[in-house]
Amino acid sequence: MKVIGLTGGIGSGKSTVAAMFAKLGVPVVDTDEIAHQLSLPPSDALDEIRQTFGGAFLQADGTLDRARMRALVFQDENARIRLNEIFHPRIRNAARQALLALAPFPYALLVVPLLFEANGFRSLVDRALVVDSPPDQQLERLAARPGLDRATAEGILRSQLAPSERIALADDVISNGGSLSELQRQVQACHAQYLEWANDL
């Protein structure tokens, strides 16, 4: 089985594209969902968060206080690095196990927002598919998310790879600047290409 790594900047439309692939019968492993599961108690990752950052970063129900943690890591580079050291190896291991269970399929989609930025994730995939979207549309989508103000959204965009850098590292690119039907057309074209490629190997 081959693995396509789906990535793109925040608010680029990765979830929409992943859902379109899923409707075509492609199994999808989403590292954001894995991270969410790791953020639920009981979790050794949360134990390490408590030891490293203090109990203030956990909510009353024991789950990670995402808003507080997000605010910290965008102000403190060392905190961001330490948080990634706690979560990324666990996310990689869980993703690897999930992909192994999908061996009968021609190919699977692994959704990794930081495919190029985070160590060790690029080696899990055979091809990298980037969803590219105009920055103004990314900000519009982010503004619609609860608990995320425009300043924070702009900060997140600035902290990520520039679109041109991400595209330069991609094997394939889907442009999400038009209609949903155009996006669907691109997904279907990629799906046909990936099926042919996976079945030829």
List binding-site positions.
11-16
Q: Convert 106-144 into a string of H (helix), E (strand) and C (coil).
A: CEEEEECCCCCCCCCCHHHCCEEEEEECCHHHHHHHHHC
- Could you list the residues known to form a binding site for ATP, using ranges: 11-16
Cβ(112)–Cβ(118) below 8 Å: yes
